Homo-oligomer: A and B are copies of this chain.
Amino acid sequence: MTDSQPHALIIGAGAIGSFYGAILKRAGCTVSAVVRSEYEAIKANGFQFESPLGDISWSPDHLYKDGDTPDVVPDYVILATKVLPGSDRAALVKPWVGEGTRIVLIQNGLDIERELADAYPDNPIISCLAFVAVSRQGPGRIKHNAYGRLVMGRFPKGADAHCEALRDLFVAGGIDIKLADDVVRERWLKCVWNTPFNPLSVLANGADTLTMLDAPGGEKLVRELMDEVMATAAADGYPLPPQLPDSNIEGTRKMPAYKNSMALDYLNGRPIELDAILGNVVAIAQKHDVAVPRLETMLAALRMRA
């Protein structure tokens, strides 16, 4: 593996990927990156950050273009792309995965690990949920607005020494990590908010959280959508706290109105993670014969958009 310091390679070094790359760099890791576009800007100037953490700008130790052949096998391959139909994530990481390489997913949604776990049964899959507000300002320029916490666990279960080692690196880099024995349950918990609010914001043409809740019938619909997600989770073996919809809505009402990441993707003409956030939940509901008419309505309507 490595001699002195761990080597992490970020695939999909957008705002999220380059942020966690910055943290690992601060922890003393060798950090490389594979980028699809913006290669020249990043080669010249690295990743330029504005952040409440201070100066976390960094330059990759190795910068690769999509399609390059690796000259080292990293300890950690960190996949931080969006989860979109037609992106073959198993193929994307293939050149960089060697014996013992930990495959780290920092990605949204539910049931997004299986594809990698099936393709790399002998590599540890570390699944992470990011709670971070970052946004791209220009080529290689990222604004870190707030937060940074990761919830992290082995897929499908457990939080072993691989997770602990990576946790220690992120903590050394300055962010908070929660190790989760059951990361799939953590994904379900996050879906109770995301699966209703994110697609709904797109159907509502980019509406913010309070506009959605305050529309006639809005809060009622959000709550019913959350109940459908909860029922699906329970049928899939993940009973969640019954007060979660209430506390989610209450928490959302206490925050200023904001546009969620899927609303922003939609408004900026970028593809949305419809399957990762909604389609996979509906598929699990259908597998278990759970009635999710409202989730299905959102999904079909969004799939009708060309």
Contacts and interface: CB of A to CB of B under 8 A. Distances in A.
Interface in A200-214: 200, 203-205, 207, 211-212
State the main secondary structure of chain A at its contact with B: helix
Interface string A209-230: 0011001111011001000000
Interface size, A (range): 20 to 34
A304 B215 contact: yes
Contacts of A300: 215-218, 220-221
A301 B298 contact: yes
A296 interface: yes
A176 B158 CA distance: 73
Given A204-B304, A304-B211, A305-B207, A297 B299 contact: no
Copies of this protein in the assembly total 2
A48 to B, nearest CB: 35
Contacts of A205: 305-306
Contacts of A224: 293
Interface in A255-272: none
Given A216-B300, A294-B294, A297-B298, A305 B221 contact: no
Closest 3 CB pairs of A and B: A204-B304, A217-B300, A221-B300
